[in-house]
Amino acid sequence: MDKHIIFFDLDGTLLNENKIVPRTAKNAIQSLQEQGHEVAIATGRAPFMFDDVCKELNIDTYVSYNGQYVVLKGEVIYTNPLNKDALDLLTNLAVSNNHPVVYMDHEDMKANVPEHEYITESIRTLKIKQFPTHDPAYCENRDLYQALLFCKDGEEKPYSEVFQQFDFIRWHPLSVDILPSGGSKAEGIDKIIEVLNIPKGNQVAFGDSLNDLEMLKAIEKSVAMGDGHELAKKAAKYETKSAGEDGILYGLKMLGLLS
């Protein structure tokens, strides 16, 4: 058996529009595992936002926070926290602009304001159990792997111009991810590949969004979802159907990994 490793993005890829794993995708992953392939998740989400998916699919290897917190077979093998001093300065600017900030580590997320409609509206679309509670001091004395800045499209530009230590990736009309500059899913994937030593020709990735671009460009057998962002489709080598149209199963068959 020619062992492959397959990385799946979550939202819009492994998860359909209702934020559940379609039955065909679940069965496909089980078949991959039974054949001896490595199956992993590569997501912008925090680990606590998809632990239920890991349990459901028996997956213990993942790239989370767009590459900033990487786990291989249940063990943390790489972390890349945010610059604390720069994050403090960014928070001060955000407060003056009435732009809330949420701080995130591997266990929880906390907001620097008691409540805000932008936080409520955007986090609600993730359909997760957790919701950020108020703790403006959560950024102190701990490593944070991502923050969320809540602002309208285009309002993140002044932040990106000032804070070169961070990358800003929009994931919702009212929110952007704040990540260490240069960090990406592709970088996190490299940390796993270094350990497992699986050749490039046996590496596969499925994705659909802007935070998947580096991954889709770097992986030799990359697949974009049919309803994904146009830039994701351009970055990928192949295109499958949407998650709701059994796109995972279709894509795996297209690659010859399932019959």
Using one digit for the tens of pLDDT, what is the confidence trace for 132-158? 999 999 999 899 999 999 999 999 999
Q: What is the pLDDT of residues 206-222, one digit of tens each?
A: 999 989 999 999 999 99
pLDDT at residue 37, as a whole number: 97
CA 202 from chain centre, in angstroms, equals: 22
Residue 35 in tokens: 């054949």
- Residue in 2, 9, 105, 153 annotated catalytic: 9
State the DSSP H helix or E strand holding residue 149, giving kind and residue range, or none if neither: strand 146-150
Q: What is the mean predicted confidence (pLDDT) over 41-70?
A: 96
Residue 221 in tokens: 């057998």
pLDDT at residue 1, as a whole number: 58
Domains of the chain (ranges; CATH) run 5-79+183-254 (3.40.50.1000), 84-180 (3.30.1240.10)
pLDDT at residue 130, as a whole number: 87
Model confidence band, residue 126 (pLDDT cutoffs 50, 70, 90): confident
Burial class (CB in 10 A: 0-12, 13-18, 19+), 129: exposed
Is residue 164 within 8 A of residue 197, CB to CB? The reply is no
Q: Residue 183: pLDDT above 90? A: no
Alpha helices (H) along 9-140: 23-34, 51-57, 84-96, 117-124
Residue 9: active-site member: yes
